[in-house]
Chain A
Amino acid sequence: MLWIDKYKPSSLDKMDYHKDISANLKNMIKSGDFPHLLVYGPSGAGKKTRILAILQEIYGVNVNKLKIDHRTFKHPTSSKSIQITTISSHYHIEISPGEAGSYDRVVIQTIIKEIAQSPPIENADLGPFKIVILNEVDKLSKDAQHALRRTMEKYATFCRLILCCDSTAKVIDPIKSRCLGIRIPAPTNEEIEKVLSKVAQSEKFELPSKLSQNIANQCNGNLRYALLLLESQKAKQYPFQSSEIPLLDWENYISQIVNDIFQEQSPAKLLVIRAKLYELLGHCIPPDLIFKTICLELFKKLDQDLKFEAIHWASYYQHKSQLGSKPIFHLEAFIAKFMSIYKNRLQKN
């Protein structure tokens, strides 16, 4: 078992940080009923961990007996069949409607309705309602989100939805207003280091503080990544000889791209960069992340006013890419734009 699984806190009490949130949640559960929840926060902050802890708080340890179902159901109008993976226990079911791609609306309309419609059998063990966890709500299409609106109200008596997403920016307002929003912020570096040292203690190895600092810096508040990094470092070189943390492969790749940008600003170079962008996209690196990383990499070599330009255009094209469907156009447009600005600046000086 990886450490991320091994040292995952299973109850609200065992949470290492954000104690106040845990306390609030506990109070909420004690009251017996709670509204739909919308849990949001950056990746690796512990959203899912908290959700599962909530479940355990309500239903006891049996929630951890999970089973995977690959459900296939037919599209109501077309003959296409849609497959979706659900993870469920006796008490809850977890779905990522995003898996169905453009059919996410159908998933919402059929599966969730189906679960939500049937009232739970009168059983003290099962509790007053079922819980449906929806992952990546921000990736749902607008249609699906609208389909969700009504369902949330109509079946509120039997069913609680816990929505989970990175950012609420793409969640429509009606849904936000129907849910109790719970923000799980990323842990601070100190909190991460605390967790790391705790793990090191129970794994019985020495963790130099320099290394743990580096890991905390590297992971950007992503505790999952921090733990994975720690474990990989442990696997790679123990006792620790250097405290250097390598960049991820794709991060390296992006820094190459940025080097290319500074090296030469020409259509030919753009063509080279295009191939690299394609490679990144082919590795399922989200375009938004590529935008962000490129921009941050650019920052390292820019002076103040150019930084402003870079971030302006990055956000401009990132916004456009949200509206469109071909990220390569937008990424390339951003890079071309920056090249042009940079080149003009070079000529002026």
Chain B
Amino acid sequence: MLGVKRNLYSEEEEINNDKDNNNDNIKKKFKKDNNNNNAIIIEKKPKSNIKYINITSFSGHRVSKKLNLNNVNKKITNESNSGINDSIKKSYGDLLGKPFDEILKELEDFEAIKYKARLLQESEKKSEINNSNNVNQVKDNQLWVDKYSPSSFHDLLSDDSMNIEILKWLKLWDCVVFGKDIPKDLVMPSSVATSQLSSNLGISTNSANRYHSQLNNQLNNQFKSKSTIGTQSSTQPQSNSHHHQQYFLQEDGSPIVKVILLTGGPGLGKTTLAHVLAKAAGYNTVEINASEDRSGEAFESKLLSTIENNSSVFSNKHNCLIIDEIDGISGRDNGPIELICKLIDNSLKAGASKKTNNTTKKNTNSNNNNNGDEESESDNDDEDEFYSNDNEGTAANKKKTSTKSKKKKLTRLLRPIICICNDQYVPSLRKLRQKATVFNFSAPKKQQLLSRLKEICLHENLTANDSTLGSLIDMTGSDIRACINSLQFIKSKTSVLNSDLLKNKSNIVIGQKDIEKGLFEIWNLLFKNPSTNKSSSMYSASQTLLNNKNIGGSQEYQQLNLIVESCNQVDKLMDGVHENFLTNITADYSLDKTVDCLDWMVFSDVLQNHHIGHDEKYKSIVPLAIHHRCTTYTPKVVMPHSEYDNYIKKKSTSTIKDSFFSDAPAQVHSSIKKSYFTVDFVYPFIDILSLPIRVSNTQLYSIKEKNNLNSLVEIMKYYHITYKLEKSTANQYQSKDNKDKMQYKLEPPIDQLLTFQNQPQNKYDQQKSFDKSSIPPIRHIRLSNDQKQIITIALQQYKPIKKIQTVDTHKEKEKEKEKEKEKEKEKASFKQPVTPAKPLAPQVLKDFFGRVIQTSPEQKRATSENKGPHIKYKFQEGFTNAIKKPVSVKDFL
């Protein structure tokens, strides 16, 4: 806790060894006072769902005060009374219990006492230091970050409500870990707060277990209120005789949320928070971080041993596992994360299937003296088969559980696990993110951080004014660790911190966090209008002018410069700038700014292509130039996607192109260049394919029409273009009529190359109203489904004739075979065989419903008639490697 170290060393000299004699007295007195104060007024630790109010004293101490004093009375009777008690009793029923100024006064009193205690503490420390000079030196070498790391709940700089949430979650484990019922509202009794305080003061904590048992005893009989903690509500309602409802516990008493995930940028105090809270909840913290080997089995063994065993023989605390930097964890097949997820699943299942044995619990609870390892573990052995090995003494309990669950390999999670990472969206964490509750850290409030820094400066005899510290915070991006480190670094050189030091980077290399900002942030900054008052907090205007004679000028400008330079995705950055600059440009009536911006982008593109753009020096020029020209107060930034969309589009286009070319004969290759395919070939080609055909029986066609159809079929054959039956994708006009209607689609779908977005001519309508009579005005005719059907049939009819004609060339045969294979594939994929006779039947039926055509059944007949003497039977063609050969029926006769 900072409180300890927060003392003013300036006064240290006054505290001498001769004060040691008084130590005991003061300590006693303090303790007593402290107890009283805490018990009555100050909930040092804000707990649970009970509403509390934060009170900040003039010296910056924060405490939380309960609003509902329902319990206070009872507690008071439990506690040893002091004079203030009466006043509270009188005011019982008020929200705060007593007038605010009174509270403030008490708070001040409390602080005074605390201060005394600190002095005392200091004197003790001092004497220690005096005793051994070595120790002293070691202390000096200590990093300030460690030296001033918070050691208690209230010293944490992170968001209070989040801290409480996390602590509540840790408390939920009490039932499983310590074997106690969890108070419904999880109110922390004053005694615990005291213990926390006393621990702050360096007095060794008593076994946490004891406090928790006390807690239970005190609270068991108190409440009516439902617990509303946490963010989730339980899925399983409690059915057993638990005397209070628990929404966050499983039936075996373990919390539903097994793992929490703390995320946030570096230096925001995630690790510190985890450690402090785990300690506060009475756990021994075991940390697995990136510095250790944690790949694969090493991790597994460590994880399992941690959650299974206690830390050591000497301590009776239970482990709380903290997995730091989990986003960087590696392992085969994402092993470690998978393992955790599996554990969670396992324990969730196991937890839900088991029922809490209340009697056992009560028994153990009433024991209330779980000081030893064995005792405490016997409490939860009904939940955990794993511990049953250790517990020889509690055979009775063991029997109950041993009947269940023997085959499970993995144990359940019976210890809280806190995972910490910088970036929760790392792919490997995706699975864990769904299972764990995620707490997102935001930067601490500037005021809070500032006051903390001030304290440190004071403590370390470093003179610094508020604005300088403020700018330090700005420079580091509210990174607590970076701030403190910078301070220490400055201290090592000089004892006065002023703005010159910060500014002059050549002199001292501090601040200016070199971490890469997210692209989004950069874009936002680029398009954000720099507010002028911000820079004035840093330097006066004259200084700005003096110090930055080079480009741009202001501090923001330079900072932006650095940020952009630190970004290593120049391409992406430029894409984003391009995508967003038009929406963020303002007051550009003459379009000069737009033109300028685009000229800069053109310039950057040219640079990129010459591989100069990646050079550190030039990277930031273009973005900054654009920043100069278009900024708004509220930038609208979207992720650039059009470049990628375009890429995808282009790719699909060229895939279609390629598939056309791969099927086409060699002659086509040499006559049509791929690059001109979409420019001047496809459009007329599709028109040629869209030869208008009368929708009627092909038998009724005139010779001319037949010839037309024939030539069309020949072309399609030549280019290997077919129509494929496909379920219409329920789009456009067809969706209403008949969704299941089969559509004929070109294969390869080169007609897709013709459709442009926002095309004014709606070809679909034309297609709909397509009628033989209304052809002329239409520009690009697309065939109707019925026409396509006819063509398909024609194609299929055409095939056998061609076969006979060209049956001798080996090449042709192979092609045919390939086609048949393709057909097989189609069959498989559409479950709608395209082979002549069969497939038509369902199609015909559907057409019958949808449209006017009655021709189809006739066509079927026509198909057979048309073939005349060549009656062909195709046996159900399965896939075979055998050589297929068309055989005439007469060969069999």
Bound complex: CA A346 to CA B443 (Å): 52
User: Contacts A1-B718, A285-B678; is A267 near B588 (CB within 8 Å)?
Assistant: yes
B685 touches A323 (CB 8 A): no
Bound complex: CA A52 to CA B667 (Å): 10
B582 in contact (CB, < 8 A): yes
- The residue on A at minimum CB distance from B677 is A284
Task: Given A249-B756, A284-B678, A326-B643, output 5 extra A-B contacts at Cβ < 8 Å.
Answer: A68-B669, A224-B671, A321-B602, A323-B606, A333-B599
A contact residues around B759 at 8 Å (CB): 249, 252-253
B475 in contact (CB, < 8 A): no
A328 touches B646 (CB 8 A): yes
A324 touches B608 (CB 8 A): yes
A340 touches B684 (CB 8 A): no
A235 touches B690 (CB 8 A): yes
For window 646-686 of B, CB contacts with A under 8 Å fall at: 646, 649-650, 653-654, 657, 661-662, 665-681, 683-685
B352 in contact (CB, < 8 A): no
A contact residues around B649 at 8 Å (CB): 278-279, 282-283
Bound complex: CA A14 to CA B769 (Å): 46
User: Contacts A68-B669, A241-B776, A256-B760; is A2 near B715 (CB within 8 Å)?
Assistant: yes
For window 309-331 of A, CB contacts with B under 8 Å fall at: 317, 320-321, 323-326, 328-330
B197 in contact (CB, < 8 A): no
B602 touches A320 (CB 8 A): yes
Give 1 or 0 for each of B579-605: 1 = CB within 8 Å of chain A CB: 000110100101110110011011001
Selected contact of A94 from candidates B588, B642, B662, B670, CB within 8 Å: B670
Bound complex: CA A297 to CA B714 (Å): 38
A336 touches B650 (CB 8 A): no
A contact residues around B687 at 8 Å (CB): 232-233, 235-236
B779 in contact (CB, < 8 A): yes
B578 in contact (CB, < 8 A): yes
Bound complex: CA A1 to CA B715 (Å): 5
B contact residues around A283 at 8 Å (CB): 649, 653, 678, 753, 756
28 of the cross-chain contacts (CB-CB < 8 Å) are: A1-B718, A4-B671, A48-B673, A49-B671, A66-B669, A85-B662, A94-B669, A96-B674, A139-B675, A225-B681, A249-B756, A250-B679, A250-B683, A256-B758, A267-B594, A274-B642, A278-B649, A279-B649, A279-B758, A282-B650, A283-B653, A284-B678, A317-B602, A323-B605, A325-B609, A326-B605, A326-B608, A336-B595
A276 touches B758 (CB 8 A): yes
B606 touches A320 (CB 8 A): yes
Which secondary structure characterizes the binding site on chain A? helix
Selected contact of B675 from candidates A5, A67, A235, A286, CB within 8 Å: A286
Selected contact of A2 from candidates B680, B685, B779, CB within 8 Å: B685
User: Contacts A237-B776, A333-B598; is A325 near B679 (CB within 8 Å)?
Assistant: no
Bound complex: CA A58 to CA B654 (Å): 35
For window 1-41 of A, CB contacts with B under 8 Å fall at: 1-2, 4-5, 8
A contact residues around B679 at 8 Å (CB): 248, 250, 285-286, 289
Selected contact of A278 from candidates B598, B642, B670, CB within 8 Å: B642
> Which one of A229, A232, A233, A276 has the greatest number of beta carbons of chain B within 10 Å?
A232
B244 in contact (CB, < 8 A): no
- The residue on B at minimum CB distance from A335 is B598
A324 touches B715 (CB 8 A): no
> Which one of A225, A236, A266 has the greatest number of beta carbons of chain B within 10 Å?
A236
B contact residues around A252 at 8 Å (CB): 759
B688 in contact (CB, < 8 A): yes
Q: A187 to chain B: closest CB distance in Å?
A: 15
A contact residues around B657 at 8 Å (CB): 284
Bound complex: CA A182 to CA B873 (Å): 57
B contact residues around A256 at 8 Å (CB): 758, 760
For window 35-67 of A, CB contacts with B under 8 Å fall at: 43-44, 48-49, 52, 64, 66-67
B contact residues around A216 at 8 Å (CB): none
Q: A288 to chain B: closest CB distance in Å?
A: 11
For window 215-250 of A, CB contacts with B under 8 Å fall at: 222, 224-225, 228-229, 231-233, 235-237, 241-242, 246, 248-250
B contact residues around A4 at 8 Å (CB): 671
B591 touches A228 (CB 8 A): no
Q: A313 to chain B: closest CB distance in Å?
A: 10
User: Contacts A66-B667, A96-B674, A289-B679; is A246 near B779 (CB within 8 Å)?
Assistant: yes
Which secondary structure characterizes the binding site on chain B? helix
B contact residues around A225 at 8 Å (CB): 680-681, 684
A344 touches B590 (CB 8 A): yes
A228 touches B680 (CB 8 A): yes
A189 in contact (CB, < 8 A): no
B602 touches A324 (CB 8 A): yes
Bound complex: CA A89 to CA B551 (Å): 64
Bound complex: CA A265 to CA B672 (Å): 39
- The residue on A at minimum CB distance from B669 is A87
B590 touches A329 (CB 8 A): no
B754 touches A249 (CB 8 A): yes
A contact residues around B666 at 8 Å (CB): 66-68, 87
A contact residues around B599 at 8 Å (CB): 333
A183 in contact (CB, < 8 A): no
Q: A341 to chain B: closest CB distance in Å?
A: 9
B201 in contact (CB, < 8 A): no
Bound complex: CA A230 to CA B594 (Å): 44
B591 touches A1 (CB 8 A): no
The 3 closest A-B pairs by CB, nearest first: A282-B649, A232-B687, A324-B605
B contact residues around A336 at 8 Å (CB): 591, 594-595, 598
B673 touches A135 (CB 8 A): yes
B273 in contact (CB, < 8 A): no
- The residue on A at minimum CB distance from B781 is A236
B contact residues around A172 at 8 Å (CB): none
Q: A242 to chain B: closest CB distance in Å?
A: 7
A250 touches B595 (CB 8 A): no
B25 in contact (CB, < 8 A): no
A contact residues around B690 at 8 Å (CB): 235-236
B595 touches A278 (CB 8 A): no
User: Contacts A2-B715, A43-B676, A282-B649; is A249 near B683 (CB within 8 Å)?
Assistant: yes
Bound complex: CA A52 to CA B666 (Å): 13
A339 in contact (CB, < 8 A): yes
Q: A135 to chain B: closest CB distance in Å?
A: 7
B contact residues around A228 at 8 Å (CB): 680-681, 684-685, 688
Bound complex: CA A282 to CA B655 (Å): 12
For window 65-99 of A, CB contacts with B under 8 Å fall at: 66-68, 70, 85, 87, 94, 96, 98-99
B813 in contact (CB, < 8 A): no
User: Contacts A279-B757, A324-B608; is A66 near B582 (CB within 8 Å)?
Assistant: no
B343 in contact (CB, < 8 A): no
Bound complex: CA A49 to CA B667 (Å): 11
A contact residues around B677 at 8 Å (CB): 284
Selected contact of A332 from candidates B590, B598, B760, CB within 8 Å: B598
- The residue on B at minimum CB distance from A231 is B688
A136 in contact (CB, < 8 A): yes
Q: B574 to chain A: closest CB distance in Å?
A: 8
A5 touches B671 (CB 8 A): yes
Bound complex: CA A246 to CA B683 (Å): 10
Bound complex: CA A229 to CA B686 (Å): 11
User: Contacts A267-B591, A271-B582, A324-B608; is A231 near B753 (CB within 8 Å)?
Assistant: no
- The residue on A at minimum CB distance from B708 is A235
B780 in contact (CB, < 8 A): yes
A contact residues around B779 at 8 Å (CB): 246
For window 768-815 of B, CB contacts with A under 8 Å fall at: 775-776, 779-781
A contact residues around B642 at 8 Å (CB): 274-275, 278
Q: B39 to chain A: closest CB distance in Å?
A: 66
B contact residues around A324 at 8 Å (CB): 602, 605-606, 608-609
A contact residues around B76 at 8 Å (CB): none
- The residue on A at minimum CB distance from B761 is A252
A281 touches B756 (CB 8 A): no
B2 in contact (CB, < 8 A): no
B645 in contact (CB, < 8 A): yes
